[in-house]
Amino acid sequence: MTQGSDKSNIVLIGMPGCGKTTTGKLLAALLDYTFIDCDQLIADKTGKSPRQVVEESGRDFFLNVQEEAVLSIKQTNCIIATGGGIVHSDTAMKYLKTIGFVLFLDAKYDIIEERMDASRKLVRTNGSLLELYNERKPLYCKYADAIIDCDSADSQLLCNRILKEIDNI
């Protein structure tokens, strides 16, 4: 990242299965940054997993908790892995853009579908994974400072792409 920038964080957005958490942890270790998982912030705040919050209190309540969790991030030199649906909050995304560079980890739909196994059911109240992908992809592109191809499951390769991209920012 360029010297003198007040954006010292790297924010990872994208669909579940694109590698935000796995890559984020590796990138944080490589840069000696703190790793922040927004889903963990939600769990810490509510005592429940994001899935439980949605199932027990509804999507609107979850979106509010998710937004509050993001707005609570005040640290610098962090890799922030967001929940896939954070792009539905304009407030949260505008805030994230003020504190960091937003990188969209973009994988083709068939790769996302392949990576989503029974243990990683998507938290959604209606619609298919494809409908969600088609709904969110334009939002990811809208908010991204850069788009990183993450079709490969190789986290080290993805980190190298990210490092190259942020050197150009």
Binding residues: 17-22, 39, 84, 120, 136
Annotated binding site for substrate: 39, 84, 136
* CA geometry: angle 94, 96, 100, nearest 5 deg: 125
Give yes or no for a contact between 50 and 57, defined as CB atoms under 8 angstroms apart.
no
**128-134 — which CB contacts under 8 Å span 24+ positions?**
132/15, 133/15, 133/109
Whole-number Å distance between alpha carbons of 57 and 126 = 15
| Residue the block writes with tokens 């304009």 | 90
State the binding site for Mg(2+).
21
8 A C-beta contact, residue 14 and residue 20: yes
- Binding-site residues for ATP sit at 17-22, 120
Minimal CA–CA distance to 20: which of 168, 167, 140, 142? 140
Query: How far is CA 136 from its chain centroid?
Result: 12
